[in-house]
């Protein structure tokens, strides 16, 4: 089936009353959780993930989660402009010009500019993906298990991109994730590993009771990509370039759904920004018990087994310990998600090439992927250091601004 034929099938699947309602609901929820300091887009997706587990159509589930993401990325700028407190990490840059404009009485101009930037960026990236999908499909036709393993290495290298100021801690977190994913039956040999004789661990750790407590305690965090990647796996969608060869119609349905979400963000943002801005006063302490409740509800919804609640509680405690040690949970999630892909393709490649491990470096595409991995790794490490320095400086400016506002208010009083 040609790309145009797949797109033609995908369009009517997006423009159903059900999917349009999901997109609108996701945008509103995303704007709300994005604008409240202390919450994040990650939380919005976590709250929706258990609900999507009951969806009949996996594409609808991913469209809803992407709509939450689209709305949340704009929502983070609302509090950044009105309170000088970014609702999401990415909205820190919005405080540079947005808050000064708000102090000059140009709140509407700042919010409208931020909305336009969010819509334009989302539309541009979605259209680019739609156009490049065909090229990806042709490239992946030459992939074997060797290239897929190298792609897994590239994916795990993203740890450097979410490591913050401590790459060693993030590497430890990623290795823990790989180890946790090895618990249970080996997908290749069927041998049970690291279960310690416990029936709860015999079949491994299910992903849902594990994207939810781990990432919830990471708020505010940068786990959106890892969480969405896990959502694809949970709904039986194999993430990666093979989506366009094996599940092409579904892939295009998701892309077009994301495109529509960005289009609808413009009128929705113009009409609801003032109402959503009032919600920033809600304190996180009131929301925390509700978030914990959703964690356990989501874990139980995965299988309907009470054993998952025990596992969820254990992982919640473990995640809290990692948080106290200042170890990011996001690399751990990346490790858990990518372990199965890497292990299966490594074993297959080793058997196919008679354990000639040099094949990963001698096959051109695999070698190119590994070279790109090294380049990205070095680049992201340097970029992280610059971002950390910029964020630290900006947070100092924000604190100084709050202190100045408090002093001015005290003088007026």
pLDDT at 35: 79
* Cα angle value 171/176/177 (rounded, 5°): 95
pLDDT at 14: 92
Res. 261 pLDDT band, cuts 50 70 90? very high
Could you tell me which residue, 255 or 211, shows the higher pLDDT?
255
Could you tell me which residue, 94 or 283, shows the higher pLDDT?
94
Res. 218 pLDDT band, cuts 50 70 90? very low
- Mean pLDDT for the stretch of residues 168-173: 77
Tell me the C-alpha distance between 244 and 140, whole Å: 9
Query: Phi and psi dihedrals of 261, rounded to 5?
Result: -60, -40
- Token output for 34: 């994005």
Could you tell me which residue, 386 or 269, shows the higher pLDDT?
269
Tell me the C-alpha distance between 151 and 406, whole Å: 51
Query: Phi and psi dihedrals of 182, rounded to 5?
Result: -80, -10
- Mean pLDDT for the stretch of residues 163-174: 71
* Spatial contact of 230 and 329, defined as CB atoms under 8 Å apart: no
Res. 7 pLDDT band, cuts 50 70 90? confident
Tell me the C-alpha distance between 122 and 30, whole Å: 14
Whether the pLDDT of residue 18 is over 90: the answer is yes
Give whole-number Cα distances, 316 to 217, 227, 296, 299, in Å. 8, 16, 10, 11
Q: SS in 3 state form for the chain?
A: CCHHHHHHHHHHHHCCHHHHHHHHHHHHHHHHHHHCECECHHHHHHHHHHHHCCCCCHHHHHHHHHHHHHHHHHHHHHHHHHHCCCCCHHHHHHHHHHHHHHHCCCHHHHHHHHHHHHHHHHHHHHHHHHHHHHHHHHHHCCCCHHHHHHHHHHHHHHHHHHCCCCHHHHHHHHHHHHHHHCCEECCCCCCEECCCCCHHHHCCCCCCCCCCHHHHCCCCCCCHHHHHHHHHHHCCCCCCCCHHHHCHHHHHHHHHHHHHHHHHHHHHHHHHHHHHHHHHHCCHHHHHHHHHHHHHHHHHHHHCCCHHHHHHHHHHHHHHHHHHCCCCCHHHHHHHHHHHHHHHHHHHHHHHCCCCCCHHHHCHHHHHHHHHHHHHHHHHHHHHHHHHHHHHHHHHHHHHHHHHHHHHHHHHC
Tell me the C-alpha distance between 364 and 40, whole Å: 41
* Spatial contact of 122 and 258, defined as CB atoms under 8 Å apart: yes
Peptide bond into 220 cis (omega under 30): yes
290, burial (CB in 10 Å: exposed 0-12, middle 13-18, buried 19+) = exposed
Whether the pLDDT of residue 65 is over 80: the answer is yes
- Token output for 332: 């751990």
Comparing 49-58, 81-90, 298-307, the range with the smallest average pLDDT is: 298-307
Whether the pLDDT of residue 20 is over 90: the answer is yes
pLDDT at 216: 45
- Mean pLDDT for the stretch of residues 357-379: 87
Q: Which residue has the tokens 């490591």?
A: 163
Output the pTM of the full model: 0.67
Q: Residue 242: how many CA atoms within 13 Å on its side-chain side?
A: 14
Non-local (6+) Cβ contacts of 232 within 8 A are: 62, 238, 239
Whether the pLDDT of residue 149 is over 90: the answer is no
What pLDDT digit, counting tens, does each position of 310-320 carry? 777 787 788 77
Report the chain's terminal Cα–Cα distance, integer Å.
72
pLDDT at 221: 40
Tell me the C-alpha distance between 308 and 210, whole Å: 9
pLDDT at 259: 92
- Mean pLDDT for the stretch of residues 383-412: 70
Could you tell me which residue, 409 or 272, shows the higher pLDDT?
272
pLDDT at 163: 56
Could you tell me which residue, 64 or 33, shows the higher pLDDT?
64
* Cα angle value 384/389/395 (rounded, 5°): 120
pLDDT at 262: 92
Range with the largest mean pLDDT of 79-88, 100-109, 271-280 = 100-109
Tell me the C-alpha distance between 299 and 305, whole Å: 9
What pLDDT digit, counting tens, does each position of 264-299 carry? 999 998 888 777 767 666 666 666 676 677 667 666
Tell me the average pLDDT of the chain: 77
């Amino acid at each position: 089936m040609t790309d145009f034929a797949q797109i033609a099938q995908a369009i009517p699947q997006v423009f159903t009353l059900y999917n349009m309602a999901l997109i609108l609901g996701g945008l509103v929820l995303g704007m709300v959780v994005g604008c409240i300091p202390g919450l994040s887009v990650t939380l919005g997706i976590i709250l929706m993930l258990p609900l999507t587990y009951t969806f009949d159509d996996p594409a609808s589930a991913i469209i809803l989660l992407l709509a939450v993401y689209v709305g949340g990325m704009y929502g983070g700028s609302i509090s950044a402009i009105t309170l000088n407190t970014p609702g999401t990490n990415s909205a820190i840059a919005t405080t540079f010009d947005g808050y000064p404009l708000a102090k000059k009485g140009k709140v509407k101009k700042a919010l409208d500019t931020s909305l336009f930037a969010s819509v334009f960026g989302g539309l541009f990236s979605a259209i680019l993906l739609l156009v490049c999908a065909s090229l990806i499909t042709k490239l992946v036709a030459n992939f074997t298990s060797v290239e897929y393993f190298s792609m897994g290495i590239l994916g795990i290298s993203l740890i450097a991109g979410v490591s913050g100021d401590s790459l060693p801690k993030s590497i430890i977190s990623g290795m823990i994730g790989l180890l946790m994913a090895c618990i249970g039956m080996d997908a290749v040999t069927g041998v049970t590993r690291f279960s310690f004789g416990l029936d709860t661990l015999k079949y491994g750790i299910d992903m849902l009771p594990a994207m939810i407590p781990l990432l919830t305690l990471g708020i505010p965090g940068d786990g959106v990509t890892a969480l969405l990647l896990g959502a694809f796996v949970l709904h039986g969608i194999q993430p990666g370039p093979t989506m366009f060869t094996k599940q092409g119609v579904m892939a295009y349905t998701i892309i077009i759904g994301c495109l529509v979400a960005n289009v609808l963000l413009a009128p929705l943002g113009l009409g609801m920004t003032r109402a959503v801005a009032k919600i920033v006063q809600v304190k996180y302490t009131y929301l925390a018990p509700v978030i914990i409740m959703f964690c356990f509800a989501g874990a139980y919804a995965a299988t309907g087994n009470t054993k998952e609640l025990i596992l969820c509680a254990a992982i919640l405690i473990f995640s809290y310990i990692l948080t106290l040690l200042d170890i990011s949970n996001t690399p751990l999630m990346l490790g858990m998600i990518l372990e199965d892909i890497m292990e299966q393709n490594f074993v297959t490649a080793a058997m196919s090439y008679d354990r000639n491990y040099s094949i990963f470096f001698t096959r051109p595409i695999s070698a190119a992927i590994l070279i790109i991995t090294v380049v990205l790794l070095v680049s992201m490490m340097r970029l992280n250091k610059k971002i950390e320095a910029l964020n630290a400086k900006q947070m100092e400016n924000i604190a100084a601004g709050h202190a100045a506002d408090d002093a001015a208010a005290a003088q007026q009083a």
